[in-house]
């Protein structure tokens, strides 16, 4: 069964590897997650369907639980409308949110799903991390690498990429 919105947590998934010679299923799953290029991130909830998708592409992405300040910073600095226009408070008021902080609070508490907002690009374009990746991008995070689930430590990586 699905989790209640009060129990759900917001997850950040970041693609860090390319898909040359990857399986077709992995490439299709990355498309469904809107992670079509390296250094792109998405905000999703921790539902069972997303957990299965992340496990299917764990050799190409890293993910973990987002903090409230990282979600707010990500939406305010990297949130975009089509045509690479910045996300503005005027547009958000038409959707029913007073400010970007209100939207960030709703996304963080899983009352709203960022990728379902109309006309908003469902992903965030990030820069490569400042001072590069600390470890190998070919190994899992648990095996002294960068890939896969990393829990709260995803916030440090995303801060370096914003």
Q: What would the pLDDT profile of 45-83 be if each residue is shown by its tens digit? A: 987 789 999 999 999 999 999 999 999 999 999 999 989
User: 118-132: per-residue pLDDT in tens?
Assistant: 889 999 999 999 999
What whole-number distance in Å separates Cα of residue 133 and Cα of residue 118?
A: 34
What whole-number distance in Å separates Cα of residue 11 and Cα of residue 8?
A: 9
Q: What contacts 96, CB < 8 A, 6 or more positions away?
A: none
What whole-number distance in Å separates Cα of residue 105 and Cα of residue 98?
A: 11
The pTM for the full model equals 0.90
For the cut 70, the answer to whether the pLDDT of residue 2 exceeds it is no
For the cut 50, the answer to whether the pLDDT of residue 161 exceeds it is yes
The helix/strand/coil state of 131 is coil
pLDDT grade for 1, boundaries at 50, 70 and 90: very low
Phi, psi angle pair for 44, to nearest 5°: -135, 170
DSSP state of 128: P
- For the CA atoms of 65, 71, 77, 80, what is the dihedral angle to 10 degrees? 90
At 105 the pLDDT is: 93
Which CATH code is given to the segment(s) 8-162?
A: 3.30.1390.20
User: 89-110: per-residue pLDDT in tens?
Assistant: 898 999 899 999 999 999 999 8
Looking at per-residue confidence, does 3 or 51 come out higher?
Answer: 51
133 burial via Cβ count (<10 Å: 0-12, 13-18, 19+): middle
């Amino acid at each position: 069964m699905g989790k209640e919105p009060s129990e759900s947590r917001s997850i950040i998934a970041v693609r860090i590897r390319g898909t040359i010679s990857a399986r077709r299923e992995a490439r299709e799953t990355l498309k469904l997650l809107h992670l079509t290029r390296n250094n792109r991130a998405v905000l999703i909830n921790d539902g069972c369907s997303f957990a299965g998708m992340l496990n299917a592409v764990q050799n190409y992405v890293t993910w973990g639980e987002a903090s409230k300040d990282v979600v707010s910073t990500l939406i305010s600095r990297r949130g975009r409308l089509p045509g690479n226009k910045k996300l503005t408070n005027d547009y958000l008021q038409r959707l029913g949110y007073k400010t970007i902080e209100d939207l960030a609070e709703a996304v963080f508490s899983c009352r709203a799903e960022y990728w379902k907002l109309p006309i908003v690009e469902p992903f965030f374009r990030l820069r490569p991390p400042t001072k590069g990746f600390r470890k190998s991008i070919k190994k899992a995070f648990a095996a002294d690498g960068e890939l896969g689930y990393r829990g709260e430590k995803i916030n440090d990586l995303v801060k370096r990429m914003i």
